[in-house]
Amino acid sequence: MKKISVIGAGTMGNGIAHTFAQSGFTVSLVDVSQANINRGLATIGKNLDRMIAREKISEADKESTLGNIKTFTSLTDGIKEADLVVEAATENVELKLKIFGELDAHAPADCILATNTSSISITQIAAVTQRPDKVIGMHFMNPVPIMKLVEIIRGYSTSDEVTETIMTLSRKLGKTPTEVNDYPGFVANRILMPMINEAIETLYNGVAGVAEIDTVMKLGMAHPMGPLQLADFIGLDVCLSILNVMYDGFKNPKYAPCPLLVNMVMAGKKGVKSGEGFYDYSESRKAEKISKAFQ
């Protein structure tokens, strides 16, 4: 397995492409938008520069990594020689089903199809293909080049051979693969998202403010980042989508998203990506912080 195609050049997609390319794999980065591809490549370049600054890699390593990445705006062209495709599109069921139908139609017959979904059923995704035994979940954590965990999720029909291949491949990337079963949210988000949702409920009920809630969790529970700040980092729209998947899958009210989260997403306040969520990430706020630093 040497040729990897990554579908989607966003935060997760470019991180996955970076990780495979740095490990010596030939990577095809596919996105419908050339602008998205350009931003993805720029992000990979910046992240490699940070690694050079920390003396983790050399300039030659950077050039080699970038040289291992080719880009495509045509899905058909980008996957035609792939040994493995990793889909990293938006966390939307209909979109993923559409993509996997196209992947199945155009990828080589022996190609493994993986999805980076953090909550959607692998069995449901596999059902739109003619190769359900070769469909598997490969849930990387953000930021992909740094985080060691990869959740490996078997669908109902995923073969033992494919599972072992992906477990071994993950180790070659320097990751720690952990096999979990195919239930909504898997393990990571089944535990994380209710915690984030409860933190939002705590704010919604007026128990404490944003900074106070995050401070309690950071200093009291030794979390490196408070749940509300983490929600901003993940994207409030993504958190809402994952909670909806779990609520629909389990029909259990404990997974129902807090009304405050729903309203914030509807208002366009999605966290870091939109410039505002539970915290303000706008340019004006950054300028204010810089100004205060020199006073």
Instruction: Give the chain's domains with CATH numbers.
Output: 3-181 (3.40.50.720), 190-290 (1.10.1040.10)
Q: Is 56 annotated as a binding residue?
A: no
From 5, 36, 189, 197, active-site residue: 189
Using CA atoms, how far apart are residues 274 and 270, in angstroms rounded to an integer? 6
Is there a catalytic annotation at residue 18?
Answer: no
Q: Is 35 annotated as a binding residue?
A: no
Using CA atoms, how far apart are residues 97 and 240, in angstroms rounded to an integer? 19
**Residue the block writes with tokens 């994207």:** 235
Q: Is 13 annotated as a binding residue?
A: yes
Using CA atoms, how far apart are residues 145 and 173, in angstroms rounded to an integer? 9
From 18, 68, 151, 274, active-site residue: 151
Residue 60: its pLDDT value, please?
A: 97
Number of other CB atoms surrounding residue 74 within 10 Å:
11
Helix%, strand%, coil% for the chain, nearest 5: 55, 15, 30
In this predicted structure, the answer to whether residue 245 has a pLDDT above a threshold of 80 is yes
**Token representation of residue 65:** 């990594």
Give 294's pLDDT tier (boundaries 50, 70, 90). very low
Averaged confidence pLDDT in the chain:
95
From 28, 47, 118, 241, active-site residue: 118
Q: Is 38 annotated as a binding residue?
A: no
In terms of DSSP H, where are the helices of 173-226?
A: 188-204, 210-215, 221
For residue 21, which of 66, 77, 84 has the smallest C-alpha distance?
66
From 87, 139, 197, 274, active-site residue: 139
pLDDT in tens, 65-111: 999 999 999 999 999 999 999 999 998 999 999 999 999 999 999 99
Is there a catalytic annotation at residue 189?
Answer: yes
Phi, psi angle pair for 2, to nearest 5° = -125, -25
If you average pLDDT over residues 20-43, what whole number do you get? 97
Q: Is 8 annotated as a binding residue?
A: yes
If you ran DSSP here, which 8-state letter would residue 27 be given?
E
Using CA atoms, how far apart are residues 126 and 111, in angstroms rounded to an integer? 13
Give the sign of the dihedral formed by CA 249, CA 116, CA 1, CA 146: negative
Using CA atoms, how far apart are residues 259 and 224, in angstroms rounded to an integer? 26
Largest CA distance in the chain: 64
Q: Is 28 annotated as a binding residue?
A: no
Residue 203: its pLDDT value, please?
A: 98
In this predicted structure, the answer to whether residue 289 has a pLDDT above a threshold of 70 is no
Is there a catalytic annotation at residue 14?
Answer: no
Give 275's pLDDT tier (boundaries 50, 70, 90). very high
Q: Is 266 annotated as a binding residue?
A: no
For residue 175, which of 166, 187, 184 has the smallest C-alpha distance?
166
Per DSSP bridges, beta strands 135-140 and 149-154 are antiparallel
Give 290's pLDDT tier (boundaries 50, 70, 90). very low
For residue 204, which of 130, 256, 168 has the smallest C-alpha distance?
256
Q: Is 12 annotated as a binding residue?
A: yes
Using CA atoms, how far apart are residues 114 and 122, in angstroms rounded to an integer? 9
In terms of DSSP H, where are the helices of 148-273?
A: 160-172, 188-204, 210-215, 221, 227-234, 236-250, 259-266
pLDDT in tens, 33-73: 999 999 999 999 999 999 999 999 999 999 999 999 999 99
Is there a catalytic annotation at residue 170?
Answer: no
Residue 282: its pLDDT value, please?
A: 86
Let me know: does 265 contact 238? Beta carbons within 8 Å. Answer: no
In this predicted structure, the answer to whether residue 287 has a pLDDT above a threshold of 70 is no
Using CA atoms, how far apart are residues 150 and 130, in angstroms rounded to an integer? 26
